[in-house]
A and B are shown apart, each in its own frame.
Chain A
Amino acid sequence: MSKARPGLLLLALFALVALPALTGKFYVELVAKIMIMAVFAMSLDLLVGVTGLVSLGHAAFFGLSGYMLVLAAPDKYAAVSLWTSLPLAVAASALLALVIGALALRTRGVYFIMVTLAFSQMVYFVFHDTRVAGGSDGTYLYTKPQTNIGSWATFDLANSTHFYYAMLVLLILSLAFLRILLASRFGHALRGIRSNEQRMRALGFNTYAYKLAAFTIAGAIAGLAGYFSAVQFGFVNPEMLSWHQSANVLLMVILGGMGNLIGAIVGAFALVLTQDLFSSLTKHWLLLMGGFVIAAVMLLPHGLTGGGLAWRNRLRGARGG
């Protein structure tokens, strides 16, 4: 970490804490959305930047969690408790990640990329083609989860400012958890796998088990983000699970710089703000977006924060053997 970094981070934190006092509802809600995406992006960074697993299907875990929230309500207008529905939703995402990971991790390199894409498409079709939760139209979440603990009314998720600070807490807690994880022997092993998996196995590490654990944890955290995304929008539809969503979050990770978690947060801010800017300029903003993506890949191979460690072409080595 460069000398300037801790100072910058503190400044950013201060800005985030102060934001609701300084701007109106629009920006409060926008930044809350970005913070949710940042958590989503950090979970993918754990896979891509730390362990070297490029997953093109991460949205499946994001979307499933949102759907679980909607499906958890016994009837349309009932409010579920945050404290029961959140663990349920996250557990569902973790379980899906465990199952998909167990199968997908039997493959490597490019196969892995394609297989994760295909599995998430399968999940997409479950929600798109069947009548579960509204099919391709999606379903509304009529009442936000209530957060009472016993008779203590804690905070109100329907209140933009409360929701914003809840998301800020979520972001900080997720970042802290992942930092601790990365500093542990488990985290060091994941980095070793990205660096040289063959050597890790020759030393005695059961790399499949490590990768599966990372995949499951990443899926769980993506589920955390997906749950609150559904809460914020009050609406779930199959697009949450689409591969455009997966590609979007992958872009955030690479734009911001991989492997150091902060990059994922920076990338989330950069991408969402850029999308907002472009879509306000023209109806055909995807053209600008495409150009932006290409430029970012060509000019910023290590992302805005320069990436954590030097990125080695490890994945290319998997081709042909």
Chain B
Amino acid sequence: MAEALLAAKELTRRFGGLVAVDRVSLDLHRGEIHALIGTNGAGKSTLINLLAGELAASSGTISFRGEALARLRPERMARLGVGRTFQRSNVFAELSAFENCRLAAQARLPRAWAVHESAQRCETSNTAAARALDTVGLSPRGRVAASELSHGERRGLEIAMCLATDPHVLLLDEPLGGMGTEESRQVLGLLRSLRDGRAILLVEHDMDAVFAVADVITVMADGSVLASGPPERVRNDQAVRAAYLGETI
């Protein structure tokens, strides 16, 4: 098995007396969609925030390509190639969808100090933005202000912005939230196509979606990992069944 692109080992995060994430270990491999499921409050969003560098861990390590990382910051993780989406759409409301993606694409361009170069005429970022929008099917809506997009479209824009930075690892926090069936199916198809060459962490509540697309599933409850492995094994795991008592998985 190739080495993990992004790996968490014994990751813990405490908020005062509350242990939100309790010694969680997780590997994200290239070419894999790794789904993370669990009830509300299981610690999934906190884990994503830890992996994205938004939160500092109380203990444990995060490694990128085998190298342990110290002093994580969101911009540093992003520069390493770890992209993320937010659970609640976190876009630039006054900018158009296209401008949102272009700004994202400009994040990792060199020579930020070249103040004489116009941003609007930057070919590299314009191309990357157009491509990202096209991948999520938002090209016709490129000129619309982000605040005026529908909820589902904004979720799509979230993903497009992440893609515009050309990440190796995608951390997706409930990308399907609030989407209809058809839209969800399109996004799942998109994820499958993105899998090549990238590692994807997918936090989701929609069980059908998860089992349709995931290569590996990790189940969390109360901050710790209940089970982890291929979908069928997880589906039949006793502990998981007990935790989801009454729910059909």
Verify whether A and B have any Cβ pair under 8 Å: yes
A-B contact pairs, 14 of them (CB 8 A): A180-B116, A183-B118, A184-B115, A184-B116, A185-B109, A186-B115, A187-B119, A188-B106, A189-B106, A196-B91, A199-B90, A199-B161, A201-B75, A202-B84
Most-contacted residue by chain B among A184, A185, A192, A210 (CB, 10 A) = A185
The 10 A-B pairs with the shortest beta carbon distances in the complex, nearest first, are A204-B78, A204-B107, A203-B107, A201-B74, A188-B119, A184-B115, A185-B119, A195-B92, A201-B75, A204-B79
Q: Judging by beta carbons under 8 Å apart, are B106 and A185 in contact?
A: yes
Instruction: Tell me the smallest distance from the CB of B168 to a CB of chain A, in Å.
Output: 13
Chain A: interface residue total (CB-CB under 8 A): 27
Q: Does chain A have a CB within 8 A of B243?
A: no
Q: Judging by beta carbons under 8 Å apart, are B78 and A202 in contact?
A: yes
Interface bits B73-89 vs A (CB < 8 Å: 1, else 0): 11100110000101000
Q: Does chain B have a CB within 8 A of A299?
A: no
Cβ of B50: which chain A residues have Cβ within 8 Å of it?
none
Q: Considering the chains assembled together, what is the distance between the CA atoms of A188 and B122 in angstroms?
A: 12
Cβ of A187: which chain B residues have Cβ within 8 Å of it?
115, 119
Instruction: Tell me the smallest distance from the CB of B161 to a CB of chain A, in Å.
Output: 7
Cβ of B24: which chain A residues have Cβ within 8 Å of it?
none
Q: Does chain B have a CB within 8 A of A198?
A: yes
Chain B: interface residue total (CB-CB under 8 A): 34
Interface bits B88-120 vs A (CB < 8 Å: 1, else 0): 001111110000000110111100111111111
Q: Does chain A have a CB within 8 A of B54?
A: yes
18 other contacts beyond A200-B107, A203-B78, A312-B93, with CB at 8 A cut-off?
A180-B115, A180-B116, A181-B115, A183-B120, A185-B114, A185-B117, A186-B112, A192-B103, A195-B92, A195-B94, A196-B93, A202-B86, A203-B104, A203-B107, A204-B79, A213-B113, A309-B94, A312-B94
Q: Judging by beta carbons under 8 Å apart, are A184 and B117 in contact?
A: yes
Instruction: Tell me the smallest distance from the CB of A192 to a CB of chain B, in Å.
Output: 5
Instruction: Tell me the smallest distance from the CB of B84 to a CB of chain A, in Å.
Output: 6
Cβ of B113: which chain A residues have Cβ within 8 Å of it?
186, 213
A:54-75 near B, CB below 8 Å: none
Q: Judging by beta carbons under 8 Å apart, are B94 and A188 in contact?
A: no
Cβ of B125: which chain A residues have Cβ within 8 Å of it?
185
Q: Considering the chains assembled together, what is the distance between the CA atoms of A204 and B109 in angstroms?
A: 10
Instruction: Tell me the smallest distance from the CB of A205 to a CB of chain B, in Å.
Output: 5
The answer, among A189, A310, A312, for a CB contact under 8 Å with B103, is A189
Q: Considering the chains assembled together, what is the distance between the CA atoms of A312 and B146 in angstroms?
A: 14
Q: Judging by beta carbons under 8 Å apart, are B90 and A198 in contact?
A: yes
